Amino acid sequence: MEPRKHSFPPVVDADVRLLVLGSLPGERSLAQRRYYAHPQNQFWQLMSPAAGVDLPSLDYEDRLATLLRAHIGLWDVVATARRRGSTDAAMHDVEAHDIAALASNLPHLRAIAFNGGTALKLGTKQLGPAASRHDIVALPSSSPLHTIGLAAKLPAWAALKTYLE
């Protein structure tokens, strides 16, 4: 049987205006206990325009602090799941985070952005009626498995800045 994988705590504070949700950290991220630790994952590059800082040039703790200073929160829709490897398609026996509860405790939240199709599908289901309280943004996955290229992904991610102004 596949091992059970566990997500990380949310990176949020009371000033978050934009919450970016992934599905479940991959193997490299889980091993390093860091969001988006795989060097080929484009998350930090894609978030840089919205944050207004070159995030890949910072160490991990500074990346998280910079997101919060930019009013960006980070979490995953999946609390735990069984999965061999890192792909979303391999997940089963999924237990969800209560993202509706988290969102309701963020008084300045304007939008919830989902990093990839699995996060969007699971997350909007979890939010239920609470989804209507915020803009919902579907983002192309930052994963290296989503091979459309950085240039094709960047416009959707850069547009997140509008929720921070």
The CA distance from 50 to 90, in Å, is 31
Catalytic residue among 7, 23, 41, 66: 41
The CA distance from 2 to 30, in Å, is 15
Catalytic, 41? Answer yes
| Residue 80, phi then psi, degrees to nearest 5 | -145, 155
Q: 119: buried, middle or exposed (CB in 10 Å: 19+, 13-18, 0-12)?
A: buried
Residues serving a catalytic function are: 41
